[in-house]
Amino acid sequence: MYLTQPLHKARRECPQGIFSIHGDRRQSNETFVSRVELLAGGLRGLGLVPGARVGMLAHNSDRFLEYIYATLWAGGVLNPVNTRWSAREIAYSLDDSDTQILIVDDSFAPMVETLRALCNVPLTIIRLDKTPVAEAVDYETLIAETQPLADEIRQGTDLAAILYTGGTTGAPKGVMLSHGNLVADALALTAAADHGKDAPGLHIAPLFHVGGLAAVWQFALRRAPQVTTSHYDPGEALRLIEREAIGDIFVVPVMLRWLVDHPDIATRDLSSLRSIRYGAAPMDITLLRRAMDVFPQAGFLQVYGQTECAPVVTTLAPQDHVADPDAAQMRSAGRPISTAEIKIVNETGKEVAQGMVGEIVVRGPTVMLGYWNKPEETQAALKDGWMHTGDAGRFDENGFLYVVDRVKDMIISGGENVYSIEVENVLSKYPGVSLCAVIGVPDAEWGERVHAAILPNEGVLLSPEVLDAHCRSQIAGYKVPRSYEFVSEMPLSAAGKIVKKDLRAQYLAAIKQDA
Amino acid sequence: MYLTQPLHKARRECPQGIFSIHGDRRQSNETFVSRVELLAGGLRGLGLVPGARVGMLAHNSDRFLEYIYATLWAGGVLNPVNTRWSAREIAYSLDDSDTQILIVDDSFAPMVETLRALCNVPLTIIRLDKTPVAEAVDYETLIAETQPLADEIRQGTDLAAILYTGGTTGAPKGVMLSHGNLVADALALTAAADHGKDAPGLHIAPLFHVGGLAAVWQFALRRAPQVTTSHYDPGEALRLIEREAIGDIFVVPVMLRWLVDHPDIATRDLSSLRSIRYGAAPMDITLLRRAMDVFPQAGFLQVYGQTECAPVVTTLAPQDHVADPDAAQMRSAGRPISTAEIKIVNETGKEVAQGMVGEIVVRGPTVMLGYWNKPEETQAALKDGWMHTGDAGRFDENGFLYVVDRVKDMIISGGENVYSIEVENVLSKYPGVSLCAVIGVPDAEWGERVHAAILPNEGVLLSPEVLDAHCRSQIAGYKVPRSYEFVSEMPLSAAGKIVKKDLRAQYLAAIKQDA
């Protein structure tokens, strides 16, 4: 199983079919694969040997797709750089993975000099657009002045990508995913639920993120033309869904909110959309129900996973998105996909009794090869082939997995364990709550104390009193937040997750100022 | 990727869920897996080491499923024996593959002594039912008096099954399929089209046939309870579809005919059926359209492939089953599945121009490891990783594959190539033709001559004159049959294919008698 196989198929089966659409640029299968062969030849000319890394620091476009496929075609390994990171963080990932070739677009060309200064590795820069960059190779010149390269056709166990995890705690780690990992994920996810078939798929999530990247393989497996847009703009996304008759999208919850809140939602023809896949962050159930009303013809598929699992571990299938808002399964992450075996274990690695909470560990063909150059962290995460996710969860008797918390986000208050997601689920049900996050903050008496940050809907006024009464009616007293802060904006990661460490830092800074 | 993974998942995720249904016997996931662990322990006690073969000579049942999983659990290799074969043919396959352990049910217990006399390998017989067999181990006693074995957890490249091909020409060959081959096929086929999700799947095709066996992995991947019935009886199949609310079936065309012709078709509630997968033999388009009317809520998925490809190579998707009976694609085998790369090559192995006819060759993760103990045949079939199917075909410009004939079934008459399927497609359209087969027979003048065997519908009288006129109105003169025979029954293989070599033998015997 190798990731470039769909290109061979596309060119043979349907050379004039459309592979990619970016703005008004539509590339046929034949054109796209020819450019991949040439770009692969160009990369080889710049010294890319099989197994070596190539980075991309750019917004989404069909050129990003060319980079992905040409790197793999030449036998190389992807390092698609997180565009929201600082230059220092990016330089860390380039040095750590020994990425010597980096493609940049206009938006990031100005960062090149800083990166060169920060990096220990010598960087060969390929310039995608027009902004001049010193000693850079022009992307189109590279393609024009080279010979096509034959596909190296990698094995399933060969390394395909090093993806740096968000680094919410500690130094970022390079997750090593193989060709086999990523093909297995794409097959299993495509098999998991009805989808848009060969209708075009729209990339909304950034392609450097594992969720966006995984969609590339899914679309390719089912011959869906790949539609890209450089920035996430909900109005533009709605326009593209109508214009290209998009069959599938993958969104993080905050993107879905922007989509359903957009004024054009009522006037665009969105009937082509067959599947809306969402994940990477907990979904507010009220938002989900609104979206289900807005897109009645689309199946909603929740995906839960992590980069280390390439990435999907469980899915909540469309038929499990039931109308009853109190149905327990709607709070679950769904059931394990066909390739993921899941065990719930305690601190000593022993499997807990059915229904009990413990760490979620995963075994199967999508589990990463390991962390790049981090044998100790790899050994800690991968024990006997089981990926230790760091998330806490439990199974119900029907095999639905409930993710109760990131283990490290668990709040221990007065000896009682509080899983913040449980409190967040309660808070998010209260009318007027747009986003919320529950964290543990230091408390002299109880060790940690439950604290809630709340982003109200525009124009809504909320008080600690009403939220307190609401929570007390739903959950045990020790789980109810002891303090609230009302924010005008939540710190979000590139993947749309609330960055709790930033919330904690804000809280501590505010305390200090008060003292 | 290993085939026993779904058992681990089933027991953990939903121990009380149903794994198998046979008559009134319903086994939970927990019960089924426990029996598999014990049977695996029993097989180990009988000397089964990882990599060794275990045979099964029995009709479909949940015990057949136990055999499949226990053999793989113990690290063994399946040799599910074709029950339609003669004792001599069965003995050949046991000797050829060195299968020393064989499970037999009541129907085949009487054959054991003959097999022992014919076989060179020493046979350990496990008796499934009550018929006494000399020196046989009782199946339930074996399970009762052993210790559970831990899953050997095989690798993707490990051998999982040796499946003997029908042997329509030459000696039967043992097709070696790996765990990875069979998992990839199940994932790709599940991803190819909408399916019955976790509704029960009904095994109609024999489990010793690759089509039946492949359905086991598909059902297991999506947690569908596996319903078995020992003999194919269309009335019983309809009853089971209603009683168990079956979501999926796989049928060969002749089974579908029996199903739609059955009087109960009008009174049974068949609305649960979401997917009807058919293949292994060319489908009569009139029958197909009738079936589409009878099952309007089901998606029809044609599969084309061969044992060597584990087995599926292309699928004609439900949305490609269009209403227009003259739509060309309805005569195609559909498009390559996501894991199959297909090339059309000429006699020298060179790729032909788009749209031209040549041999269909296949590359991808489902392509067999090779033929057991037949390095020369393996080398001839597998060149640079490409499986040479022996079928002739062409691609249209939309990537639909048209299988024009088995290369070896091609009739060469007066220097013109006649692809028998083309003639058969024309004949089968004529009202009153139930089944037909076109073969080449010796002809003094033309080398070979096109001859047609026709099975008319009951009570219908057909004449060579009307068929000749019909054919002449549709195809070139050299393709029109020069002679006809009207038969009361067609020789069918276990897979429901018309056995053309038997038709040829019948024809030659009749000529000899006449002379």
Tens of pLDDT along chain A (515 residues) come to 899 999 999 999 999 999 999 999 999 999 999 999 999 999 999 999 999 999 999 999 999 999 999 999 999 999 999 887 778 879 999 999 999 999 999 999 999 999 999 999 999 999 999 988 999 999 999 999 999 999 999 999 999 999 998 543 446 789 999 999 999 999 999 999 999 999 999 999 999 999 999 999 999 999 999 999 998 899 999 999 999 999 999 998 878 988 999 999 999 999 999 999 998 766 778 889 899 999 999 999 999 999 999 999 999 999 999 878 678 888 899 999 999 999 999 988 999 998 999 999 999 999 999 999 999 999 999 999 999 998 889 999 999 999 886 656 667 676 566 778 778 888 998 999 999 999 988 877 677 789 999 999 989 999 999 999 999 887 777 789 999 999 999 998 877 788 888 898 888 888 887 76
Least CB-CB distance to B336: which of A13, A339, A395?
A13
Token code pair at residue B149 = 């074995």
Mutual orientation of helices B5-13 and B29-45 as an angle, nearest 10°?
A: 140
How much helix, strand and coil, in percent to the nearest 5, is found in chain B?
35, 25, 40
CA distance A113 to A134: 8
Q: What is the DSSP string of B29-91?
A: HHHHHHHHHHHHHHHHHTT--TT-EEEEE--SSHHHHHHHHHHHHTT-EEEE--TTS-HHHHH
The CA distances from residue B172 to A292, B94, B225, B280, B358, in Å, are 55, 12, 33, 18, 25
Residues of B with CB below 8 A from A194's CB? 194
Subunit contact B12:A343, Cβ cutoff 8 A: yes
Least CB-CB distance to A188: which of B8, B187, B398?
B187
Q: Are A376 and A384 in contact (CB under 8 A)?
A: no
State how far residue B460 is from chain A, nearest Cα, in angstroms.
43
Subunit contact B13:A395, Cβ cutoff 8 A: yes
Token code pair at residue B136 = 């046989």
Mutual orientation of helices A464-472 and A420-428 as an angle, nearest 10°?
A: 110
State how far residue A190 is from chain B, nearest Cα, in angstroms.
5
Q: Are B491 and B502 in contact (CB under 8 A)?
A: yes
pLDDT tens-place values along chain B, 515 residues long:
899 999 999 999 999 999 999 999 999 999 999 999 999 999 999 999 999 999 999 999 999 999 999 999 999 999 999 887 778 879 999 999 999 999 999 999 999 999 999 999 999 999 999 988 999 999 999 999 999 999 999 999 999 999 998 543 456 789 999 999 999 999 999 999 999 999 999 999 999 999 999 999 999 999 999 999 998 899 999 999 999 999 999 998 888 988 999 999 999 999 999 999 998 766 778 888 899 999 999 999 999 999 999 999 999 999 999 877 678 888 899 999 999 999 999 988 999 998 999 999 999 999 999 999 999 999 999 999 999 998 889 999 999 999 886 656 667 676 566 778 778 888 998 999 999 999 988 877 677 789 999 999 989 999 999 999 999 887 777 789 999 999 999 998 877 788 888 898 888 888 887 76
State how far residue B78 is from chain A, nearest Cα, in angstroms.
22
Structure-token match 């275990």, residue found: B54
Residues of B with CB below 8 A from A9's CB? 336, 340-342
List residues bridging with A387 in a β-sheet. Answer: A362, A382
Q: Give the closest residue to A144 by CA, choosing from A67, A236, A42.
A: A42
Q: What is the pLDDT of residue A409?
A: 65
Q: Are A120 and A143 in contact (CB under 8 A)?
A: no
Subunit contact A14:B398, Cβ cutoff 8 A: yes
Subunit contact A338:B17, Cβ cutoff 8 A: no
List residues bridging with A199 in a β-sheet. Answer: none
Among all residues of chain A, which has the CA nearest to that of B156?
A: A365
The three-class DSSP label of residue B177 is strand
CA distance A360 to A401: 9
Residues of B with CB below 8 A from A184's CB? 1, 187
Q: Give the closest residue to A479 by CA, choosing from A448, A507, A454.
A: A448
Among all residues of chain B, which has the CA nearest to that of A6?
A: B338
- Interior angle at CA A268, CA A264 and CA A270, nearest 5: 125
The secondary structure of residue A383, as a DSSP letter, is: E
Q: Find out whether the peptide bond into B263 is cis, omega within 30 degrees of 0.
A: no
Subunit contact A184:B1, Cβ cutoff 8 A: yes
State how far residue A335 is from chain B, nearest Cα, in angstroms.
8
Mutual orientation of helices B210-221 and B5-13 as an angle, nearest 10°?
A: 40
**Chain A interface test: which of B9, B18, B179 (most A C-beta within 10 Å):** B9
Token code pair at residue B211 = 């089509």
Subunit contact A197:B339, Cβ cutoff 8 A: no
Q: What is the pLDDT of residue B167?
A: 40
Subunit contact B190:A338, Cβ cutoff 8 A: yes
Q: What is the pLDDT of residue A167?
A: 40
Among all residues of chain B, which has the CA nearest to that of A224?
A: B338
Token code pair at residue B104 = 């037999």
Q: How many CA atoms lie within 13 A of A162 on its CB side?
A: 24
**Chain A interface test: which of B338, B352, B361, B386 (most A C-beta within 10 Å):** B338
The secondary structure of residue A403, as a DSSP letter, is: E
Q: Find out whether the peptide bond into B15 is cis, omega within 30 degrees of 0.
A: no
For chain B, list the domains and their CATH numbers: 1-17+25-154 (3.40.50.980), 410-514 (3.30.300.30)
Token code pair at residue B438 = 């076109």
Least CB-CB distance to B191: which of A9, A191, A354?
A191
State how far residue A280 is from chain B, nearest Cα, in angstroms.
22
Q: Are B275 and B247 in contact (CB under 8 A)?
A: yes
The three-class DSSP label of residue A402 is strand
How much helix, strand and coil, in percent to the nearest 5, is found in chain A?
35, 25, 40
User: How big is the A-B interface in CB pairs under 8 Å?
Assistant: 94
Subunit contact A17:B339, Cβ cutoff 8 A: no
Token code pair at residue A371 = 């962390």
Residues of B with CB below 8 A from A341's CB? 5, 8-9, 12
Residues of B with CB below 8 A from A364's CB? 5
Among all residues of chain B, which has the CA nearest to that of A155?
A: B365
The CA distances from residue A310 to A301, B4, B313, in Å, are 17, 21, 26
For residue A431, the tally of other CB atoms under 10 A from its CB is 10
Q: Are B4 and B69 in contact (CB under 8 A)?
A: yes
Q: Are A185 and A236 in contact (CB under 8 A)?
A: no
pTM of the model: 0.85
State how far residue B117 is from chain A, nearest Cα, in angstroms.
45
Subunit contact B194:A194, Cβ cutoff 8 A: yes
Among all residues of chain A, which has the CA nearest to that of B220?
A: A338
Token code pair at residue A423 = 């409190």
Q: What is the pLDDT of residue A29?
A: 98
Q: What is the pLDDT of residue B93?
A: 93
In whole angstroms, what separates CA B91 from the centre of its chain? Answer: 21
Subunit contact A190:B338, Cβ cutoff 8 A: yes
State how far residue A428 is from chain B, nearest Cα, in angstroms.
29
State how far residue B336 is from chain A, nearest Cα, in angstroms.
8
CA distance A128 to A106: 7
Residues of B with CB below 8 A from A222's CB? 191, 338
Q: What is the pLDDT of residue A32?
A: 98
Token code pair at residue B58 = 């029995």
Structure-token match 């004939």, residue found: B405
Subunit contact B8:A365, Cβ cutoff 8 A: no
List residues bridging with B164 in a β-sheet. Answer: B174
Q: What is the pLDDT of residue B415?
A: 59
CA distance A377 to B292: 56
Taken as a whole, chain B contains a residue count of: 515
Q: Give the closest residue to B18 by CA, choosing from A398, A395, A192.
A: A398
Among all residues of chain A, which has the CA nearest to that of B181?
A: A1
Residues of A with CB below 8 A from B15's CB? 354
Residues of B with CB below 8 A from A365's CB? 1, 156
Find the helix or strand (DSSP H, E) in which A90 lies: helix A87-97
Subunit contact B13:A184, Cβ cutoff 8 A: no
**Chain B interface test: which of A30, A338, A341, A343 (most B C-beta within 10 Å):** A338
Q: What is the pLDDT of residue B294?
A: 92
Residues of A with CB below 8 A from B338's CB? 6, 187, 190, 221-222
Q: Are A222 and A247 in contact (CB under 8 A)?
A: no
Residues of A with CB under 8 A from a CB of B: 1, 5-6, 8-9, 12-17, 156, 184, 187-188, 190-191, 194, 197, 221-223, 317, 319, 335-336, 338-343, 354, 364-365, 395, 397-399
